[in-house]
Amino acid sequence: MLFRESGKMLLAGLLVGTLLTLSVAMLVSKMLFGLKPYDPVTLMAAIVLLLLVGLLATLPPAFRAAGIHPTDALREE
């Protein structure tokens, strides 16, 4: 459940970030002399790196939540 919620936020952030990156690249393309505004390798590398960082940030809370017995959690609430 924790990975699903984190994954939704991560994918939404990556989608918005990618769209903003592409739109800003169009605006800045006139200032980039000799460079392409759309470099798919760099864009994909950044997306993969951000996905890995997001998933690694989710691991400690997921392991902590997995270690709690469900009946103990229900008793405390």
Domain ranges of the chain: 2-65
The rounded distance, in Å, linking the Cα atoms of 40 and 45 is 8
> Which residue reads 């392991």 in tokens?
63
| Structure confidence at residue 77 (pLDDT) | 64
Amino acid making up residue 51: L
Residue 56 confidence (pLDDT): 92
For 16-59, write each residue's pLDDT tens digit.
Answer: 999 998 888 888 877 777 777 778 888 899 899 999 999 999 99
Cα distance between residue 70 and residue 41, in whole Å: 44
What integer pLDDT is reported at residue 48 of this predicted model? 94
How many Cα atoms sit within 13 Å of 56 on the Cβ side?
6
Q: How confident is the model at residue 8 (pLDDT cuts 50, 70, 90)?
A: very high
Q: For residue 56, what is the enclosing H or E element?
A: helix 40-66
